[in-house]
Amino acid sequence: ERRVQFYLSPAYFRDPPRCAAIHTLSPAAASPVTRAIERAVERHLSTRLPRVMGPGQVDRTTADLAVELSHPADRRVFQRQTGCDALVRIRIRGVTDDYFVIWSQRAVALTLELIRTIDGKLLWKAHHRAERGDGGLPFSILSLPFSAARAARLKGDHEAFESIADDAVRRMMATLPDIRPPAP
């Protein structure tokens, strides 16, 4: 299903964020799938908010300031130094990479939260699971190699997770209203 579960707070419109910093909450922060998700979030979020700080810049800044974004006092220091009044937290709920000779499936489940940096107030939250599968049940001996070939093609596609992550984030960002100022 392509349905996205989301919540949008009225506070998003009362005091809209001018800048958001991307922060990944995941034990596998350096994995290629995580990096693909972070790039997709940065790319799509920049079509919704006036300014976005990518994860690399956020990592360097938090290291320079010696702050941890999970602590409210440190978030306030981060906001004063960067001007970013919001934080987008990425929670990777699951990554699936299954292969069964005649069937292959890849999926990413994630949650994105936009919180106000100063007080941690939730402004927006979205959850979605995007997936791709290929192959199938061979109904005859002749269809067996075709099912296996389609499953192997998906398994061997090195860009599949990039595409799946982009699909998931694009669908999620569609629920976040664009608050950028109009172009002159």
Q: Within 10 A of 151 (CB to CB), how many other CB atoms are there?
A: 22
Chain mean pLDDT for the chain: 84
CA distance 180 to 165: 24
Work out the average pLDDT over 29-43: 85
Distances from the Cα of 34 to the Cαs of 39, 111, 170, in angstroms? 9, 13, 16
* Each residue's pLDDT tens digit, 133-162: 655 566 666 665 655 655 555 555 567 678
Question: What's the pTM value of the predicted model, to 2 decimals?
Answer: 0.82
d(CA 107, CA 131): 4
CA nearest to 108, candidates 96, 91, 124, 122: 96
